[in-house]
Structure 1
């Protein structure tokens, strides 16, 4: 009888260990996938910042060109008064 109980306990422990091993494997996989997602989010944020920098740089260029155009119009008396 004691052998049967010992075997039953060992069987349950093995089943628990197998379940724990599966959970640990899945957790490692989830961690890897989460790391990939975090990297993707960082990349997206970086791309967004670069796009905003480009827009700001373009706006500075447009402002500079507008100032030059205004100055040229003033010098040539081409500007119409409102």
Structure 2
């Protein structure tokens, strides 16, 4: 078996340190990508919230229109609107 010397240990530790630096760099890149993905996810959630708000307002407007039309039909001796006279 080869004798383990301080020079050999130093070279191995230097190699390990270089590899750990690369791992740290890669980890930093992954963290920045996750932050970017989190930002996009929040933006999508806000967009969905805005869409639900718009749909809710449209639904409210449609209900008011339907109530008005029903009231008008009752005022016209309960005859429904017929587009073909």
Which residue of structure 1 aligns with residue 68 of structure 2? 75
Q: Runs of at least 4 residues of structure 1 off by over 6 A?
A: none
- Structure 2 Cα separation of the partners of residues 77 and 42 of structure 1: 53
TM-score with structure 1 length normalisation? 0.75
TM-score with structure 2 length normalisation? 0.73
How many correspondences in the alignment? 69
Q: CA deviation at 1:40?
A: 1.4
Q: Which has the higher helix share?
A: 1
- Which structure ranks higher in relative contact order (CA pairs < 8 Å, sequence separation ≥ 6)? 2
Structure 1 unpaired stretches of 5+: 1-8
Q: CA RMSD in A?
A: 1.8
Q: CA deviation at 1:17?
A: 1.1
